[in-house]
Amino acid sequence: MTVTLADILEARRAIRGVADGTPLVPSPFMSDRAGQDFLLKLENMQPIGAFKLRGALNAIARLPEGTAGVTCCSTGNHGRGVAYGARARGMRAVICMSELVPQAKVDGIRALGAEVRITGRSQDAALAESRRLAAEEGLAEISPFDDPAVIAGQGTIGLEMLEARPDIRTILVPLSGGGLAAGVAVAAKAIDPAIRVVGISMDRGAAMYHSIRAGRPVEVEEVESLADSLGGGIGLGNRLSFPLCRDLLDETLLVTEEEIYRGMQALYWEDRIVAEGACVVGLAAVLSGRLPTLDGPVATIVTGRNLDMEVFTRVVTGQDVTLGARVVKARPWRA
Ligand SMILES: *Cc1c(COP(=O)(O)O)cnc(C)c1O
């Protein structure tokens, strides 16, 4: 089982007119800092506020007629995509999430008519609940990242970026379970293997980063982060997103909460974009000097906008932000 460019082209047909065609725009500020054209793929403009609609719609389109309903575990955005797709097909959706998922995300899912189950303090607990529901209630389970249709759906982002700008040399991808990075890397490497694809995560609880180094899926402790959408394990039984990320990503790297905080400020004050912490790991890596040599044009994906506005306001106005036992110290934005 793998994912190919042909699967991504097929996914594109499945999502056309609903989840495709987001803008790819230049960031003058980041272009200045990177010393290269720096482009933003605005997946925050998706109808559900995040790219996950692509993978969810493609997976739901492939379910057989008569499927009773769907279930999934989620850090918030995948659940919203599944809820949206299920509603369009008149299907029941049950979204399983941990207590770490921000209330704004839970509310967004309920508003789409899905049932919500909150269980435990980790993605693994949410996954166990979703598996149980699939077995006991006959619902189809859609993994947020370890599913070929989901990966192909996310891969349409890579295809669109390279169609709009075939000269892109480097793609910086926010990395969690790796469905996005795997899909984008399959598309990019099929088009030109020399395109550098970099996966970036927060420095605590980065499951894919540590799994690639260990050579097998490993568990990590889940902690609160400004990049909450990047939390959660990759599943010890990961079959697809792990091998694809291991084989196709040129590198993976980590950024700190302080760097994410500054990245959110930069994207807001310089580009006037309201986006989740998960979106800015690419900006954070460049601004903190973690990517000293960059071939341009460089592109990154602004993956979603479903954030807690109270936390966001604290970040962009330069106040302290408390994340569990940690505090990200106040620091006003200064370019
Ligand atoms: C899911 C998500 C990611 C990471 O995608 P993976 O496929 O899990 O690696 C990044 N940003 C946002 C906003 C997300 O919802």
- pLDDT, tens digit, for every residue of 22-36? 999 999 999 999 999
* Topology, domain 52-141: Rossmann fold (3.40.50)
Beta bridge partner(s), residue 252? 199
Architecture of domain 5-49+147-328: 3-Layer(aba) Sandwich (3.40)
Which residue among 22, 42, 51 is best mutated to probe the pocket of ligand 1, counting the most ligand atoms within 8 A of its Cβ? 51
Exposure b/e, 281-317, CB count within 10 A at least 16 = b: bbbbbbbeebbeebebbbbbbbbbbbbeeebbebbbe
Domain 5-49+147-328 and domain 52-141, same fold? Reply is yes
Task: Give the whole-number percent of the chain exceeding pLDDT 70.
Answer: 100
Ligand 1 centroid to residue 48 C-alpha, Å: 13
Q: CB within 6 Å of ligand 1 — which residues?
A: 50, 52, 77, 144-145, 174-181, 229-230, 276, 278, 303-304
Q: Which helix (H) or strand (E) holds 201?
A: strand 196-202
Contact 200, 213 (CB under 8 A): no
Alpha carbon nearest to ligand 1 atom 4, residue: 176
For the record, the structure tokens of 89 come out as: 């097909």
- pLDDT, tens digit, for every residue of 25-82? 999 999 999 999 999 999 999 999 999 999 999 999 999 999 999 999 998 999 999 9
- pLDDT, tens digit, for every residue of 238-255? 999 999 999 999 999 999
pTM, to two decimals: 0.96
- pLDDT, tens digit, for every residue of 79-95? 999 999 999 999 999 99
CA quadruple 155, 160, 163, 168: dihedral sign: negative
Contact 92, 69 (CB under 8 A): yes
Q: What are phi and psi of 126, to 5 degrees?
A: -65, -40
Q: How confident is the model at residue 322 (pLDDT cuts 50, 70, 90)?
A: very high
Helices (H), 5-139: 5-15, 28-34, 52-61, 77-88, 103-111, 123-137
Is residue 335 scored above 90 in pLDDT? Answer: no
Ligand 1 centroid to residue 175 C-alpha, Å: 6
Alpha carbon nearest to ligand 1 atom 2, residue: 229
Is residue 101 scored above 90 in pLDDT? Answer: no
Atom of ligand 1 nearest to the CA of 181: 9
Ligand 1 centroid to residue 36 C-alpha, Å: 25
* Domain spans of the chain, in order of start: 5-49+147-328, 52-141
Atom of ligand 1 nearest to the CA of 177: 8
